[in-house]
């Protein structure tokens, strides 16, 4: 049972078991400490953010919680420790309760509550997954296994129809439904799913193309093109592309206005143009001093997508 009305600062569940490093802050439960250290590779105290190379796990008893002094941590050295504590090397944790030590080790292993025979031991995730699929006809979501920051034993299992719903629209019940999970978004070009909109956004920004002119004009609008050929079609239909082959080969030589294109042409392609008179050059470089000359052509939603550009959900905060 938890002591008093104290709750874990991470999961907000009542504190029954806690852990702390040399700083002595005991605001997190042992399960969250294990999750942080083993899955997220974060060894910092959740309260003060001090790095904790070692942690001591004990029963939470409020002001009567068992304590270690900073000098005690210095003396801890794996299995050989003067305090006879149970040592969990993967998370650099020391337990004063052997039973809870075994509970945390089991939580972190290749196991799952669906298993009827608790004595089964699996040496890898693939062994566990194969057993569950063949014996219980349930499957993990591969994306959740890769990116959801929980233990394997906390991952959700699905039958085939449930898994499809999970990927398309999200879970109907359970912890993911409670946190407003809406499914794993899919890239409309590659047809590949990603864990969330942030992952999809990174994919779109690095694998596909967007128009830098449209993005500059509407920075909150995310429109993408499959490849540069598709983007170039948009450039030519919505903006002003340089048509000299050297610029076509270089890519991304495109301008917001015709006047900018003319200035570029005279500046960078003078040797490729018929010889111009001074008057002709001044005419090409002169930009009318009216507001419209600077505003560029009107851009509709159809222009922004180039007829084929597509955008994923906006990235999360």
- Give the tens place of pLDDT for each residue, 230-287: 999 999 999 999 988 899 999 999 999 988 998 898 888 877 766 556 665 555 555 5
Residue 89 has pLDDT above 50, yes or no: yes
CA distance readout (Å), 1 to 6, 184, 306: 11, 37, 62
> Which tens digits make up the pLDDT trace of 110-161?
999 999 887 788 999 999 999 999 999 999 999 999 999 999 999 999 999 9
Predicted confidence at residue 277, as pLDDT, reads: 61
The tens digit of pLDDT for each residue in 244-254 reads 889 999 999 99
Q: Which own/partner pairs from 221-228 qualify as long-range (CB within 8 Å, at least 24 positions apart)? A: 221/304, 221/311, 222/311, 222/312, 222/314, 222/315, 223/304, 223/305, 223/309, 223/310, 223/311, 224/189, 224/309, 224/310, 224/311, 224/312, 225/306, 225/308, 225/309, 226/189, 226/308
Q: Does 317 have pLDDT greater than 50?
A: no
Report strand pairing: 55-59 vs 93-95: parallel
Per-position DSSP letters for 72-98, written without gaps between them = HHHH--TT--TT--EEEGGGTEEES-H
Q: Residue 64 class from Cβ within 10 Å (0-12 exposed, 13-18 middle, 19+ buried)?
A: exposed
pLDDT score at 16: 95
- Is the Cβ–Cβ distance between 78 and 87 less than 8 Å? yes
Pick from 91-100, 224-233, 268-277: least confident: 268-277
Q: What digits encode the pLDDT tens for the residues 182-207?
A: 999 999 999 999 999 999 999 999 99
Q: Are 112 and 128 in contact (CB under 8 A)?
A: yes
What rounded mean pLDDT belongs to the chain? Answer: 86
pLDDT of residue 281: 55
Per-residue pLDDT at 285: 54
Summarised one tens digit per residue, pLDDT across range 1-55 is 454 579 999 999 999 999 999 999 999 999 999 999 999 999 999 999 999 999 9
**Full-model pTM:** 0.74
């Amino acid at each position: 049972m938890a002591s008093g009305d104290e709750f874990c600062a991470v999961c907000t569940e009542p504190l029954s078991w806690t852990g702390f490093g040399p700083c002595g802050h005991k605001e997190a439960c042992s399960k969250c400490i294990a999750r942080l250290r083993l899955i997220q590779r974060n060894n910092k105290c959740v309260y003060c953010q001090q790095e904790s190379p070692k942690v001591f796990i004990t029963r939470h008893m409020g002001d009567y919680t068992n304590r270690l002094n900073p000098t005690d941590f210095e003396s801890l050295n794996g299995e050989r420790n003067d305090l006879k504590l149970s040592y969990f090397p993967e998370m650099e944790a020391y337990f004063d309760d052997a039973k809870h030590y075994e509970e945390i080790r089991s939580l972190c292993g290749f196991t799952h509550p669906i298993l009827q025979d608790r004595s089964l031991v699996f040496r890898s995730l693939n062994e566990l997954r194969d057993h569950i699929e063949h014996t219980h006809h349930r499957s993990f979501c591969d994306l959740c296994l890769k990116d959801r920051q929980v233990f394997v034993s906390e991952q959700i299992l699905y039958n085939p129809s449930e898994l499809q719903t999970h990927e398309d629209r999200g879970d109907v019940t359970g912890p993911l439904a409670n946190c407003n999970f809406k499914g794993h978004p899919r890239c409309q070009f590659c047809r590949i799913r990603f864990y969330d909109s942030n992952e999809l956004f990174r994919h779109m920004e690095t694998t596909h193309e967007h128009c830098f002119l449209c993005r500059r004009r509407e920075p909150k609008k995310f429109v993408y093109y499959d490849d540069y050929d598709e983007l170039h079609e948009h450039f030519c239909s919505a903006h002003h592309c340089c048509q000299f082959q050297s610029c076509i080969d270089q890519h991304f030589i495109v301008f917001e206005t015709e006047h900018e294109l003319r200035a570029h042409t005279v500046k960078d392609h003078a040797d490729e143009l018929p010889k111009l008179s001074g008057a002709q050059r001044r005419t090409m470089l002169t930009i009318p001093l009216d507001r419209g000359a600077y505003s560029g052509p009107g851009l509709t939603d159809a222009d922004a997508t180039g007829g084929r550009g597509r955008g994923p959900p906006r990235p999360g905060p």
